[in-house]
Amino acid sequence: MACVWKSGYQPGVQFYTSNFLETKGKENKTYVKHSAFCLEIQIHPNAPKISDFPSVRLEPKMTYKDLTEYQFNLISLRLKLA
């Protein structure tokens, strides 16, 4: 079992899976279904349309900076079967 911890400035995480992946990658290695995943931090996708949400508008000459840190830990579980 894996535990993921995220630290960053954005409130949401988009989780992409490789459900439909079937392609060649580096060194002609084959990447197959369920062989990868991607975590992408972001503001809530519908934020521009919801007035109660913070503004996501970036005006000209404004600078956008973000930092995301991920920590992955493996957790060992012991199950006792009756």
Domain spans in the chain, listed from the N-terminal domain onward: 2-49+62-74
Three-state DSSP class for 80? coil
**Which of 70, 13, 73 is CA-nearest to residue 44?**
13
**What pLDDT does residue 82 have?**
61
pTM over 0.75: no
pLDDT tens by residue, 48-70: 888 888 888 889 999 988 888 87
CA angle 71, 79, 74 (to 5 degrees): 15
